[in-house]
C-alpha cells in the first residue's frame, strides 16, 4: 500500500510537471527636420542655376554631416554591429523575441522556419529580419544558412508531436499556433534540427585559432530532472509523450557540448515561459513559483519570455558563458541587457 501511495504521489507530481511542459510554449528629430530643409535649399539652388551656398545652407550641411557621423557612430557602437545571427524557429514564441532584441542590438538576423513569415509585419524590428522559409530537418538548408552567419540560436519548439495523441492541443498552447504534420516528431523537430545545426557549425570554414562559434539551445527545465533530488522518481512515472520529449532534449544537450573547441554551447532550461499576453499559463505561475520557493527540487521558478530572450542575447555576447543555464542564471544574465 505504501509503495502504491508513493507511486501515485510521483505520478501526480509528474503530471503537474507535464502540464508545465504543455503550457510552455515577446535626438534625431531635429536632424530629420534639418535634413528636409537642407534638401529644399539645395534643390532651390540647383533650380536657380546658382552654385553658391548661402550661410544658412552651409550651416545645415555641416549639421547634416555631424548628424550622419553621430548616427554612424551610434550604430557601430551597438554590441551586434557587423555580426550575423541565425535563429532557427525565429517566428515562434521565443524565437521572435530573440530576433527582435537581436535587431535592436545591431545584429543582422536571419530566421529559418517552416512558414518563413514575419509573425508581426508591423513591428519595426522584426521587419528588418530576413525571413527564410525552409525545413530545418534538411541538412543542406541548415548548412547553407549556418555558413552565412556568425552564431546561431535554436528555438525550434514542439509541445505535442504527431505521436503524442495530443497534437491538436498545439492550437491552444503553442505561441505560434502551429500544428505538427505526420513527420513532426520530437526526434525530428527537436533532435534532428539541432543535430543538423551542430554538424553544420562543425563543417563551417573557420580561421585557425578562431574562437568557438556560439550555439544557444532552448531546452527545458525537466531535462535536468536526473540531476536533482527525487527527479529520477518523477521522470520514471512521467507520461510517455513527455519521456520522448525529454529524450530528444537530452540528446541535443549531450551533443552540443561534445566539441567545445568548435562550439561554445549555451543551454537554457526554462520551466514555464510566460508573458501577460499568454493567458493560458497565467493561473499556473504562482503554483510553480510557490513550489520552487518552498524547496520542491524538481520544479523551477517560471521565467518570462523577456527574461529568456534577454538572457540568450546576453550569453551570446558574453564569451565566458557556456553550459547549462537555469532560471537563476537567466535572471542574472538578463541584467546585462538593457
Q: Which candidate, 268, 277, 270, places its Cα nearest to that of 302?
A: 270
Provide the pLDDT for residue 126: 98
Q: By the 8 A CB rule, do 97 and 117 touch?
A: no
Grade residue 30 by pLDDT with cuts at 50, 70 and 90.
Answer: very low
Q: Which candidate, 72, 70, 150, places its Cα nearest to that of 108?
A: 150
Most confident range, picked from 184-188, 239-243, 292-296: 292-296
Looking at the predicted structure, is the pLDDT value of residue 258 above 50?
A: yes
Q: By the 8 A CB rule, do 11 and 26 touch?
A: no
Q: What whole-number distance in Å separates Cα of residue 186 and Cα of residue 151?
A: 24
Looking at the predicted structure, is the pLDDT value of residue 124 above 50?
A: yes
Provide the pLDDT for residue 280: 76
* pLDDT (mean) for 292-302: 96
Most confident range, picked from 50-54, 207-211, 230-234: 230-234
User: Cβ of 65: how many Cβ atoms within 10 Å?
Assistant: 10
Q: What whole-number distance in Å separates Cα of residue 329 and Cα of residue 135?
A: 32
Q: By the 8 A CB rule, do 200 and 139 touch?
A: yes
Q: By the 8 A CB rule, do 213 and 151 touch?
A: yes
Provide the pLDDT for residue 45: 38
Looking at the predicted structure, is the pLDDT value of residue 316 above 90?
A: yes
Grade residue 161 by pLDDT with cuts at 50, 70 and 90.
Answer: low
Looking at the predicted structure, is the pLDDT value of residue 202 above 90?
A: yes
Looking at the predicted structure, is the pLDDT value of residue 201 above 60?
A: yes
* pLDDT (mean) for 125-140: 97
Q: What whole-number distance in Å separates Cα of residue 318 and Cα of residue 211?
A: 13
Looking at the predicted structure, is the pLDDT value of residue 170 above 80?
A: no
* pLDDT (mean) for 307-316: 98
Cβ burial, residue 123 (10 Å; 0-12/13-18/19+): middle
Looking at the predicted structure, is the pLDDT value of residue 324 above 90?
A: yes
Structure-model confidence comparison of residues 141 and 9, the more confident one: 141
What are the cell numbers at 201?
Answer: 557549425
Provide the pLDDT for residue 106: 97
Provide the pLDDT for residue 338: 79
Q: What whole-number distance in Å separates Cα of residue 181 and Cα of residue 36?
A: 53
Worst-scoring range by mean pLDDT, 44-58, 241-255, 297-311?
44-58
Q: What whole-number distance in Å separates Cα of residue 98 and Cα of residue 202?
A: 23
pLDDT tens per residue, range 31-77? 333 334 433 333 333 444 444 445 555 454 455 544 444 455 556 68
Grade residue 166 by pLDDT with cuts at 50, 70 and 90.
Answer: low
Q: By the 8 A CB rule, do 131 and 91 touch?
A: yes
Structure-model confidence comparison of residues 234 and 31, the more confident one: 234
DSSP state for residue 298 in the 8-state scheme: T
Looking at the predicted structure, is the pLDDT value of residue 3 above 90?
A: no
Q: What whole-number distance in Å separates Cα of residue 292 and Cα of residue 295?
A: 5
User: What percent of the chain stands above pLDDT 70?
Assistant: 71
Looking at the predicted structure, is the pLDDT value of residue 25 above 50?
A: no
Regarding pTM above 0.85, the answer is no
Provide the pLDDT for residue 164: 60
Grade residue 13 by pLDDT with cuts at 50, 70 and 90.
Answer: low
Residue 268 sits at φ, ψ, to 5 deg, of -100, 130
Amino acid at each position: 500500500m505504501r509503495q502504491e501511495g508513493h507511486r501515485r504521489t510521483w505520478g501526480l507530481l509528474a503530471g503537474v510537471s507535464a502540464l508545465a511542459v504543455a503550457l510552455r510554449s515577446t535626438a534625431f528629430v531635429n536632424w530629420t527636420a534639418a535634413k528636409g530643409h537642407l534638401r529644399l535649399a539645395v534643390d532651390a539652388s540647383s533650380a536657380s542655376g546658382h552654385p553658391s551656398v548661402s550661410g544658412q545652407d552651409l550651416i545645415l550641411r555641416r549639421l547634416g554631416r555631424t548628424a550622419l557621423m553621430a548616427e554612424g557612430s551610434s550604430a557601430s557602437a551597438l554590441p551586434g554591429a557587423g555580426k550575423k545571427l541565425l535563429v532557427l524557429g525565429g517566428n515562434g514564441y521565443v524565437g521572435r523575441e530573440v530576433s527582435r532584441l537581436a535587431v535592436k542590438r545591431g545584429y543582422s538576423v536571419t530566421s529559418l522556419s517552416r512558414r518563413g513569415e514575419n509573425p508581426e509585419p508591423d513591428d519595426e524590428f522584426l521587419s528588418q529580419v530576413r525571413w527564410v522559409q525552409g525545413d530545418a530537418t534538411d541538412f543542406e538548408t541548415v548548412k547553407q544558412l549556418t555558413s552565412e552567419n556568425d552564431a546561431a540560436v535554436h528555438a525550434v519548439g514542439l509541445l505535442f508531436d504527431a505521436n503524442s495523441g495530443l497534437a491538436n492541443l498545439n492550437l491552444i498552447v503553442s505561441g505560434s499556433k502551429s500544428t505538427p504534420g505526420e513527420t513532426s516528431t520530437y526526434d525530428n523537430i527537436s533532435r534532428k534540427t539541432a543535430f543538423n545545426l551542430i554538424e553544420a557549425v562543425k563543417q563551417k570554414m573557420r580561421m585557425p585559432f578562431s574562437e568557438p562559434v556560439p550555439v544557444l539551445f532552448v531546452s527545458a527545465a525537466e531535462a535536468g530532472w536526473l540531476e536533482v533530488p527525487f527527479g529520477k522518481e518523477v521522470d520514471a512515472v512521467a507520461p510517455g509523450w513527455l519521456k520522448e520529449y525529454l529524450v530528444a532534449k537530452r540528446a541535443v544537450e549531450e551533443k552540443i557540448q561534445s566539441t567545445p573547441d568548435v562550439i561554445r554551447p549555451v543551454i537554457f532550461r526554462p520551466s514555464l515561459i510566460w508573458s501577460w499576453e499568454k493567458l493560458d499559463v497565467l493561473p499556473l505561475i504562482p503554483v510553480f513559483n510557490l513550489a520552487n520557493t518552498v524547496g520542491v527540487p524538481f520544479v523551477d521558478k517560471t521565467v518570462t519570455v523577456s527574461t529568456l530572450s534577454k538572457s540568450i542575447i546576453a550569453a551570446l555576447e558574453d564569451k565566458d558563458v557556456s553550459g547549462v543555464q537555469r532560471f537563476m542564471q537567466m535572471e542574472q544574465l538578463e541584467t546585462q541587457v538593457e
